[in-house]
Amino acid sequence: MFMAIGGLIGGTSGMLIALAIAIATNAFAYWNSDRMVLRMYGATEVDRSNAPELWGLVQELARRAELPMPRVYIMQNDQPNAFATGRDPQHAAVAVTTGLMDRLSREELVGVLAHELAHIKNRDTLIMTITATIAGAIGMLANFALFFGSSGDNRNNPLGMVGTIALVFLAPIAAGLVQMAISRSREYDADRMGAEIAGQPLWLASALERIEQSAHRVVNNDAERNPATAHMFIINPLAGQGMDNLFATHPSTGNRIARLQSMAQEMQGAAQEAPRRGPWG
């Protein structure tokens, strides 16, 4: 997509330049995108000494998931939300907002953290973080199209001025659709595995319902400034309302909750046949 946009802007030379930029952006994103995203949201790393309960929950869940202990971050943001990032489980991080910690019960927090660890275990975090970086770069490339398209020499620009203006609007939408497809396909799997890690699907279901109720009433200014990262969060952090489902970065929260409730019923049925040891005492 990056190369195609470059070709539309500047022909063959534009495509080659876009290819070079895409390779450089991918390389940068692989090594640095996790730190870049955490920096965007002003996330502060914590440990056992300054956030003992949060750190302890992550440690126990990571042990249950058979994962290395990820780094733990807190974002000073009143919107309840969370995301995971990192190129692999050995270089992973989990970030939660202060709003999430303030509004959720301990059990609901466990459900959210287990969901994020599921993303790490499924290795979703690399592709989701790189996608955010590339989508942002496509948006910038489309803006550059205005400069090149309005320059005096348009011989390498097959679109013309009208086509270039259309590209400025269509390229970010195309990148956004890719983000949405990736995010929506991975959230259901992370819900299922997260519920298995926590041992209680209804904890995550309750957390999703509570976050959904609050997320769109509390503006996340950092997310509004960096919409290319929206698909990384457990619930869409953007305040936009009334958008068609095709353009939703996340699957329907109601559908996610329904699947978790169905999973809880299946687990309850299995528990009636054999006593189940409670995962949290």
Longest dimension (CA), the chain: 77
- Establish whether 45 is a catalytic residue: no
**Could you tell me how far CA 185 lies from the centroid of its own chain?**
12
CB 57 within 8 A of CB 109: yes
Q: At what angle do helices 253-273 and 160-198 cross, to 10 degrees?
A: 20
List, as one string, the DSSP characters of the chain.
Answer: -HHHHHHHHHHHHHHHHHHHHHHHHHHHHHHHHHHHHHHHTT-EEE-TTTSHHHHHHHHHHHHHTT-PPPEEEEE--SS--EEEEESSGGGEEEEEEHHHHHHS-HHHHHHHHHHHHHHHHTTHHHHHHHHHHHHHHHHHHHHHHHHHHTSS--TT-TTHHHHHHHHHHHHHHHHHHHHHHHHHHHHHHHHHHHHHHHS-HHHHHHHHHHHHHHHTTS--HHHHH-GGGGGGBSS------S--GGG-SS--HHHHHHHHHHHHHHHHHHHHHS----TT-
Q: Which of 108, 116, 187, 212 is catalytic?
A: 116
CB 81 within 8 A of CB 237: yes
**Would you please indicate which residues are annotated as catalytic (active-site) residues?**
116
